[in-house]
Amino acid sequence: MQTYFAGRDMITTQEWTTDELNTVFDVALELKRKRALGEPHPYLRDKVLAMLFFFSSTRTRVSFEAGMAQLGGHAEYIDHRTTQIAHGDTGKEIGAIIGRYCDGIAIRQCDWGIGNAYIRSVAEHSRVPVLNMQCDYYHPFQALADMLTIFERFGRNVQGLTLNVSYAYAASYQKPLSAPQSLILLASRYGMNVRLTRPPEFKLMPDIVEQAQQNAEASGGSFEILDDFDAGFENADIVYAKSWGAMLTTTDEQESAEIAKKYTDWITDERRMSLTRNGEGIFMHPLPADRNIEVTDAVIDGPQSAVYDEAENRLHVQKSVMALTMR
């Protein structure tokens, strides 16, 4: 277990060692136990987290606010439209000034080609930890919650388990690449057999795919790319099927939506789940899901679904990172 995290940013899990990540999971499980038993754990008493949102949120906002309250601190919600960012406040100024007011800064900024760079500009000038609540490249807390859920279902030794991270059709909007990218990066650190299943127009970023391949080689796992939706389910232990946009094919959202219409049959249903290992693989999704478009009600509400445990675990991993870094 590592013990010194004060001031550390969490922008991507790739910047944390496996030992450090294991400590995050250890602390998350302990905080989850304390929460279940009603044991007070005000490790961040009188601390303040500034939460700057450029995009709306349900799980992220509620879990961070609840987590800070449970840790004895306060989370300050800031909608970017209520700030002077549009009138000239730069990332440098947000980092330098809010970092003097508060004890941590959390940001959700998912604009393609902008989000990650903005978060890093804030972090460069902040004296307190900067936490990535989701950007255009990474969604680290979602991936941490995903892995904690997998550990709870299968045990901490997940070497050799097959995880299928798959594109799925959605009609709502062209969702960011950040959730699947962060999950392939993290799962490949733990010796899993990671599959990336996607149509040719829905590639993930080449450098992130390369990092996932390198992670798999180092951990004794494997990484492969498939373009057949059904093939991704075959003998998989975990299916993580969700939509994302065709950002590397086109930056036009309408064009991306038109391309996606070719793949309306990429929906997780009971027949596909029967293709998983012994027909018992678990289904995961970061939510919100386009019901009966990305995944059928029978699957997401069925016995193989882990989506609510996964959503709950956002709270516990976020509390872990905050408790470790905001001291």
CA distance 138 to 178: 4
282 and 162, same structural domain?
yes
pLDDT in tens, 191-233: 999 999 999 999 999 999 999 999 999 999 999 999 999 999 9
- The runs of H, that is alpha helices, within the chain are 18-37, 59-70, 91-93, 99-101, 115-125, 140-154, 178-187, 206-219, 229-233, 253-260, 270-273, 297-300, 307-325
- Asked whether residue 162 falls in the same domain as residue 303, the answer is yes
pLDDT per residue as tens digits for the range 225-269: 999 999 999 999 999 999 999 999 998 989 999 999 999 999 999
Can you give the pLDDT at residue 205? 98
Classify strands 193-197 and 222-226 as parallel, antiparallel or unpaired.
parallel
Q: pLDDT digits over 78-120, tens only? A: 999 888 888 888 999 999 999 999 999 999 999 999 999 999 9
Q: Is residue 6 part of a domain?
A: no
> CATH number of the domain that 51 lies in?
3.40.50.1370
Q: What are phi and psi of 195, to 5 degrees?
A: -110, 135
Q: Is the pLDDT of residue 43 over 80?
A: yes
- Residues 182, 277: one domain? yes
Q: Which residue has the tokens 């990332």?
A: 91
Say what the pLDDT of residue 173 is: 73
Domain count, the chain: 2
Q: Are residues 68 and 122 in the same domain?
A: yes
Q: Please give the residue range of the domain that contains residue 220.
A: 142-310
pLDDT in tens, 59-71: 999 999 999 999 9
- Record the tokens describing residue 250, joined without a space: 């086109």
Q: Are residues 34 and 75 in the same domain?
A: yes
**Domain identity same for 103 and 167:** no
Tokens encoding 169: 């059709």
Pair 223, 257: CB distance under 8 Å: no
pTM beyond 0.95, yes or no: yes
* 2 in a structural domain: no
